[in-house]
Amino acid sequence: MLESIAREADVEFIDDLADDNLPGKPGDVDHTYLGLIKQNITIMIPALGGDASSMIGLDIGNVFEEASGAIYPQ
């Protein structure tokens, strides 16, 4: 349905956004909620005509003073 709408509107349909699958593997820096948001923003900006190159170097590593203790089950 969405692909048909995009075709009729003469726009590109992009279905690469994630809503619950964290990027990378457990233990990877990007395997977090922030990693998911960074990945989605990196996809959305070019799709809207912008330049997402500044997102590539964005450090989303340790945002806590100590270990967060968050567990991201698969």
Check residues 27 and 37 and name the one with the higher pLDDT: 37
Please, what is the average pLDDT of the chain?
87
**pTM for this one?**
0.73
User: How far is Cα 58 from Cα 35, in angstroms, rounded to an integer?
Assistant: 10
User: How far is Cα 63 from Cα 74, in angstroms, rounded to an integer?
Assistant: 22
Structure tokens at 10: 């003469």
User: How far is Cα 37 from Cα 31, in angstroms, rounded to an integer?
Assistant: 11
Helix (H), strand (E) at residue 58: none
Mean pLDDT of all residues in 24-41 = 89
Contact 38, 58 (CB under 8 A): yes
Mean pLDDT of all residues in 12-22 = 89
User: What tens digit of pLDDT does each residue of 44-74 get?
Assistant: 999 999 999 998 888 888 777 776 677 766 6
